[in-house]
């Protein structure tokens, strides 16, 4: 008996287990059902917490012990158990403990001919199978056979029982053992026949729930490889494809389309990528390792990929993992630790990287000195003026050809070659084209670009230039809106993919480009009716192109050098198109689990013909864009799945040469050309600009370090002292080659700092800028997405960088240590990055207190001292930068990021304001740029705004004048009016769920608790025809939680009993809340 202090609910539960007569049992069951049906699920969960499930199971077992079970009690008891058990995650284990599982299975076998009783038993078995062990137990006792016999072909009778049987069968298939059993017994073929039968005969669309349940059953059955193989072998994909086409034509059948598509995607047989090897086309011998030694490490790189499930940018999105577990809680690891990781005597080599501290400025009147590591630009430029850019492929340059007669394909073949061979001769066609079509692109010179490219070292020895990089880019006049995703575009693309399996005779499947195969069959001459592809140029990435249909191509990206992974960046040339024809491109070996391409982002396109007509623009392009998991897999290793980026491009010009890229390309040669142009553009008497070689990369390319500051007004000690006491700002970028947006942002920073803007002048007078524009030149040059030539993420090498394998990181860190050792610790460090899964621009910083607060650490943070100045720059950017989102900023220190630049520079160098600045590939969801894709103009503007924000840190040291006040009133808080971009009002989530399922492996129960309640409540009807009509009316269930457990003639007695019970219970509202 319940204790005196027990609540009314506990009294009812206790009485239920000990009720000795039929009337009391019925009364208690009806009281419980009335109470639970009148409220929300909270009441049911409260009952579960008080032992309600155990009480119902005990009552069920006790009620079946008699020789002739009383179904007047058992039926409502089973109904209530189904309702409560669906909400109890432990119901399966509790049922096993109470020995109720086989009891219910026995009741089902005894009542196969009684539809109402059978349905009640089936619902209970279904909820019991929330536990895999319970499902296994039922399978061992022939539960699959018993239930399947109740799954009849199309009929107008016992519909509720049929659906309950299908649901129960699906629930039992949560067990892999049961899945294998079902396949062995041929149930996959039987399920397909059932689905076909119900589909063909459901002319009035009254049986949609049963058809949907059968699809769910097939989903569960194909969770195992044997199940998927069986479905394919039985023609299941063809059947589903045909039936789904019918469903698409009828509005009432839309609920069947998505599960059928997911099932087809799931069962589409896995196919290895059509490559001879998963490895990159390029390999590079590493210091201290044999040439092929990296093969042994492929499993490591494949198995530990960050890009598959983990965001590859500097900081992971909060939704994707448990931040509290990853946050650093060790105070000793959060405190700055500025001791060097190398002997102090080794830091002396970096003295040369601070020329402004030792320069005597006697040559202020002469031209800017050239660093000993710089290239001899004048010689290279002079060579180009009278020389021909001949083609390495053996074509001769026709001297009598007019410019307007040059075909786009000929232009590519003959004239974009940076090789020094064969330059002697008559004036080149390039020079004539530049004279006729050349336009002034700021800080860019095609001739200088070609000369600089001749010194760029690539693994493949590239000599052909990509035309956009050679000719230059100007941002379009108009900003480009995010692309609107057409409804069901992924569904359309998936159907086309499925047809490759169902209609193989329609597939061309011809290789039209292969970077690793130079045989004639891959040449454009052998494929005159197809598009022509090319990617053998700097930063290019396309390994293989396969023509699937007349206007559809599968494209395979090359893995990062010395690896078999990290495929996402692409940049290639395409020609031979027909104008006005839509071409579908499928990049089939992407690795990230999601992409901004699902949220309005478009690839970028550059047309040679448009450029020669005065429109040298990279523009956003593509329609019907979506990104989803496909059926391809790696040939070896642990990489089991890839994703397809598909988009359609309609070219505007016949026989044009176009370039397509993941994002606006920015090559290493572009950077070197830009730096040379900048150095020539500044006034050497006012701007101290030095480009030096920090170190050489593994491939022998220079990693540049740029110093920018203001020259002293004179050689007086006062002015020189002021110069040499300016704080340092260190900026880095492009540690990840695929993040080309970071280079465009840094371009904006460089150009602004070298400009004559009053704010730029003040910044040069206030700071010494040390800028390393490209930390991973080799990766950028060779078209990598993530890594250096070592197949390692350089932004994970900062703790202990290897001087031989990661020289750029080793020497950047050493230089920072040097600045620290001479008392010139940088005031600000910022590493420019790109973010592939978020919109806007934002900062990640480091805060000891915020990290401890967020992690729930018991440490008293009140006793910890921390300068809150790390937020100043973000607050300023929130006011002045339209693309910047203050609310996306984060200052938490994570264990998994302990080896990144941001964290290491904060902890070891002691830089309070150590940041990663993340820039979107897509666009903004706030402010004046909301709904617009970010272009190079906006990226460069962001670089300028970041520079401007630094002025607020030196507000008290600035020499104010009227020009500065006029240009920087808002920046310096001299104007109280906030700029109208409202970045501080953006509290939206990163992204809503994608409109269509990117993945297809998950198999969630499509039925909710309310639907089960409705089915159970309908099972008390006395009219069989009415029962069947209720379940399938309009193909949907009505949401009705009203109690129907006990026949209505008992209602009056129940209400009287409820009144009596309420008086007996201690606290009549103990369970009514």
Active site residues: 918
Give CA–CA dist 733/915, Å, rounded.
12
Query: Which element (helix H / strand E) includes 166?
Result: helix 159-172
Distances, alpha carbon 64 to alpha carbons 77, 147, 301, 348, 497, in Å: 11, 20, 59, 89, 54
Give CA–CA dist 882/982, Å, rounded.
8
Closest CA to 171 of 215, 223, 202, 217: 217
- Is the Cα dihedral 147, 153, 158, 164 positive or negative? positive
For tokens 């009383």, what's the residue?
70
Query: Which element (helix H / strand E) includes 194?
Result: helix 187-201
Give CA–CA dist 514/276, Å, rounded.
11
User: Are β-strands 532-534 and 571-575 bridged in parallel, bridged antiparallel, or unpaired?
Assistant: antiparallel
Reduced to 3 states, what is the DSSP secondary structure of residue 658?
strand
Give CA–CA dist 530/122, Å, rounded.
58
Q: Are 55 and 14 in contact (CB under 8 A)?
A: yes
Q: Which parts of 822-858 fold into alpha helices (H)?
A: 848-855
Distances, alpha carbon 613 to alpha carbons 406, 437, 480, 652, 1070, in Å: 13, 7, 21, 13, 82
Query: Interior CA angle at 631 toward 526 and 560, to 5°?
Result: 70
Q: Which parts of 613-738 fold into alpha helices (H)?
A: 668-681, 717-724
- What does the block give as tokens for 269? 């047989």
SS3 content of the chain, % helix, strand, coil (to 5): 45, 10, 40
Q: Are 151 and 162 in contact (CB under 8 A)?
A: yes
Distances, alpha carbon 183 to alpha carbons 169, 176, 178, 262, 714, in Å: 13, 11, 9, 20, 88
Number of residues in the chain: 1073
Q: Which parts of 249-393 fold into alpha helices (H)?
A: 254-267, 298-303, 323-326, 331-334, 377-385
Radius of gyration from C-alpha coordinates of the chain: 35
Distances, alpha carbon 837 to alpha carbons 449, 739, 841, 899, 1011, in Å: 33, 12, 12, 22, 36
How far from each other are the two terminal CA atoms of the chain, in whole angstroms?
Answer: 24
Please give the DSSP secondary-structure letter assigned to residue 812: H
Q: Which parts of 8-114 fold into alpha helices (H)?
A: 8-18, 22-38, 41-49, 52-63, 71-87, 91-97, 101-110
User: Are β-strands 544-549 and 552-556 bridged in parallel, bridged antiparallel, or unpaired?
Assistant: antiparallel
Q: Are 664 and 746 in contact (CB under 8 A)?
A: no
Q: Which parts of 930-1064 fold into alpha helices (H)?
A: 936-949, 962-968, 1009-1018, 1024-1032, 1051-1064
For tokens 């660093």, what's the residue?
371
User: Are β-strands 828-835 and 913-920 bridged in parallel, bridged antiparallel, or unpaired?
Assistant: parallel
Give CA–CA dist 500/630, Å, rounded.
13
- Is the Cα dihedral 812, 814, 815, 816 positive or negative? positive
Please compute, for residue 980, the number of CA atoms within 13 A of its CA located in the half-sphere on the CB side.
1
């Amino acid at each position: 008996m319940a204790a005196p202090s027990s609540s009314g609910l506990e009294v009812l539960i206790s009485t239920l287990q000990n009720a000795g007569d039929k009337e009391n049992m019925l009364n208690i069951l009806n009281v419980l059902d009335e109470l639970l049906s009148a409220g929300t699920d909270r009441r049911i969960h409260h009952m579960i917490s008080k032992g309600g499930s155990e009480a119902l199971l005990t009552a069920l077992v006790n009620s079946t012990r008699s020789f002739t079970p009383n179904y007047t009690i058992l039926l409502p008891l089973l109904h209530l158990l189904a309702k409560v058990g669906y909400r109890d995650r432990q119901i399966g284990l509790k049922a096993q403990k109470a020995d109720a599982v086989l009891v219910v299975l026995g009741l089902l076998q005894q009542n196969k001919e009684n539809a109402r009783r059978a349905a009640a038993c089936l619902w209970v078995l279904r909820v019991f199978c929330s536990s895999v062990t319970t499902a296994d137990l039922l399978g061992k006792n022939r539960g699959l056979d018993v239930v399947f016999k109740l799954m009849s072909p199309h009929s107008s009778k016992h519909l509720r029982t049929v659906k309950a049987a299908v649901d129960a069968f699906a629930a039992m298939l949560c067990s892999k053992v049961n899945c294998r059993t079902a396949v062995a017994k041929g149930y996959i073929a039987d399920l397909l026949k059932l689905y076909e039968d119900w589909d063909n005969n459901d002319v009035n669309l009254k049986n949609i729930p049963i058809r949907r349940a059968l699809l769910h059953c097939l989903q569960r059955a194909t969770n195992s490889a044997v199940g998927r193989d069986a479905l394919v072998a039985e023609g299941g994909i063809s059947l589903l494809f045909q039936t789904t086409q019918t469903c698409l034509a009828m509005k009432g059948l839309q609920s069947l389309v998505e599960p059928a598509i997911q099932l087809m995607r799931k069962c589409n047989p896995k196919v290895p990528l059509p490559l001879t090897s998963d490895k990159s086309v390029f390999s590079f011998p590493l210091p201290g390792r044999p040439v092929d030694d990296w093969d042994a490490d492929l499993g490591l790189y494949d198995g530990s990929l960050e890009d598959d499930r983990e965001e590859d940018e500097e900081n992971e999105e909060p939704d994707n993992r448990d931040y509290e577990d990853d946050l650093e809680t060790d105070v000793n690891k959060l405190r700055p630790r500025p001791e060097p990781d190398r002997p102090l005597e080794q830091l002396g080599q970096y003295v040369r990287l601070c020329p402004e501290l030792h320069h005597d400025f006697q040559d202020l009147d002469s031209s800017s000195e050239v660093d000993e590591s710089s290239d001899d630009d004048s010689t290279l430029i002079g060579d180009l003026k009278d020389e021909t850019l001949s083609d390495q492929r053996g074509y001769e340059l026709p001297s009598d050809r007019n410019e307007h007669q040059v075909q786009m394909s000929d232009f590519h073949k003959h004239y974009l070659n940076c090789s020094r061979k064969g330059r002697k001769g008559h004036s080149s066609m390039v020079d004539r084209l530049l004279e006729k079509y050349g336009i002034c692109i700021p800080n860019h010179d095609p001739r200088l670009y070609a000369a600089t490219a001749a010194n760029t070292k690539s693994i493949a020895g590239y000599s052909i230039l990509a035309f956009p990089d050679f000719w230059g880019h100007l941002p379009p006049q108009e900003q480009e809106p995010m692309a609107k995703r057409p409804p069901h575009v992924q569904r359309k693309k998936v159907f086309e993919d499925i047809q490759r399996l169902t209609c193989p005779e329609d597939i061309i499947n011809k290789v039209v480009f292969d970077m690793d195969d130079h045989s004639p069959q891959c040449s454009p001459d052998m494929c005159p009716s197809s598009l022509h592809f090319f990617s053998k140029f700097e930063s290019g990435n396309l390994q293989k192109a396969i023509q699937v249909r007349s206007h559809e191509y599968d494209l395979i990206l090359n893995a990062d050098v010395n690896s078999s992974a990290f495929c996402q960046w692409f940049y290639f040339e395409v020609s031979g198109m027909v104008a006005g024809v839509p071409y579908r491109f499928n990049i089939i070996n992407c690795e990230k689990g999601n992409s901004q391409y699902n949220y309005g982002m478009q690839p970028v396109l550059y047309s040679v013909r448009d450029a020669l007509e005065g429109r040298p623009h990279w523009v956003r392009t593509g329609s019907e864009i979506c990104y989803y998991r496909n059926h391809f897999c790696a040939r070896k290793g642990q990489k089991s799945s890839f994703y397809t980026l598909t988009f359609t491009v309609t070219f505007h010009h016949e026989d044009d040469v176009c370039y397509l890229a993941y994002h606006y390309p920015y090559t290493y040669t572009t950077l070197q050309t830009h730096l040379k142009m900048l150095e020539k553009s500044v006034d050497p008497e006012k701007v101290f600009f030095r480009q030096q070689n920090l170190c050489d990369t593994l491939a022998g390319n220079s990693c540049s370090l740029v110093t920018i500051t203001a020259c002293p007004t004179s050689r007086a000690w006062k002015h020189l002292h002021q110069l040499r006491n300016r704080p340092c700002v260190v900026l880095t970028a492009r540690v990840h080659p695929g993040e080309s947006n970071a280079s465009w942002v840094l371009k904006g920073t460089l150009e602004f700092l070298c400009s004559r803007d009053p704010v730029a002048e003040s910044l040069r007078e206030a700071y010494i800028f040390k800028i390393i524009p490209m930390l991973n030149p080799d990766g950028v040059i060779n078209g990598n997405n993530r890594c250096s030539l070592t197949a390692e993420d350089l932004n994970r090498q900062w703790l202990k960088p290897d001087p031989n394998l990661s020289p750029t990181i080793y020497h950047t860190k050493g230089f920072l240590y040097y600045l620290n050792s001479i008392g010139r610790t940088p005031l600000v460090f910022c590493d420019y990055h790109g973010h592939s899964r978020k919109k806007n621009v934002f900062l990640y910083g480091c805060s000891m207190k915020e990290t401890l607060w967020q992690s729930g650490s018991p440490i008293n943070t009140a006793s910890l001292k921390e300068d809150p100045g790390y937020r100043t720059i973000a607050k300023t950017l929130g006011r002045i930068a339209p693309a910047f989102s203050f609310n996306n900023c984060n200052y938490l220190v994570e264990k998994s990021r302990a080896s990144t630049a941001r964290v290491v520079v904060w902890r070891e160098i002691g830089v309070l304001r150590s940041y990663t600045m993340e820039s979107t590939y897509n666009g903004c969801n706030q402010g004046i740029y909301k709904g617009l894709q970010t272009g190079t103009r906006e990226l460069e503007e962001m670089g300028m705004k970041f520079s401007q924000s630094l002025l607020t840190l030196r507000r008290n040291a600035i020499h104010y004048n009227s020009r500065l006040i006029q240009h920087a009133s808002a920046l310096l808080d001299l104007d109280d009016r906030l700029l109208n971009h409202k970045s501080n009002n953006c509290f939206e989530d990163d992204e809503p769920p994608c409109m269509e399922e990117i993945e297809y492996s998950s198999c969630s129960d499509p039925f909710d608790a309310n639907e089960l309640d409705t089915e159970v409540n309908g099972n008390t009807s006395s009219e069989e025809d009415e029962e069947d009509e209720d379940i399938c009316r309009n193909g949907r269930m009505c949401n009705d939680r009203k109690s129907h457990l006990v026949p209505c003639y008992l209602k009056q007695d129940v209400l009287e009993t409820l009144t009596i019970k309420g008086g007996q219970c201690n606290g009549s509202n103990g369970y009514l809340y």
